[in-house]
């Protein structure tokens, strides 16, 4: 996933619903905590933070398959 790009939710995940449009504002990895952090903004520009823990098997299944849950929108002009 790329920072600054807009995505549509393909499968319900976390508090996101299918069809919801989100922009990835920031992402990163905190080595000390072993966490993958994502900050999304919805169409109302509200920030939504997601943390996936590296020591949690379920979180890592999601992390390795993010493209199953999010699809990049190539034409943002129609939103």
Helical residues (DSSP H) of 1-79, grouped into ranges:
57-64, 66-69
Whether 51 is in a domain gets the answer yes
pLDDT in tens, 33-52: 999 999 999 999 999 999 99
Into how many domains does the chain fold?
1
Whether 78 is in a domain gets the answer no
Whether 79 is in a domain gets the answer no
- Domain range enclosing 27: 6-73
pLDDT at 75: 55
- Of 16, 13, 8, nearest to 75 by C-alpha is 8
pLDDT in tens, 63-78: 999 999 999 996 555 5
Whether 57 is in a domain gets the answer yes
Whether 34 is in a domain gets the answer yes
Do residues 26 and 20 make contact, with C-beta atoms less than 8 angstroms apart?
no
End-to-end CA distance of the chain: 19
């Amino acid at each position: 996933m790329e920072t600054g790009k807009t995505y549509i939710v393909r499968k319900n995940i976390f508090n996101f619903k299918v069809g919801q449009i989100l922009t990835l504002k920031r992402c990163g990895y905190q080595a000390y905590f072993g966490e993958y952090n994502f900050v999304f903004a919805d169409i109302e520009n509200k920030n939504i933070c997601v943390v996936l823990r590296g020591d949690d098997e379920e979180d890592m299944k999601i992390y390795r398959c993010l493209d199953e849950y999010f699809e990049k929108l190539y034409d943002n002009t129609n939103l």
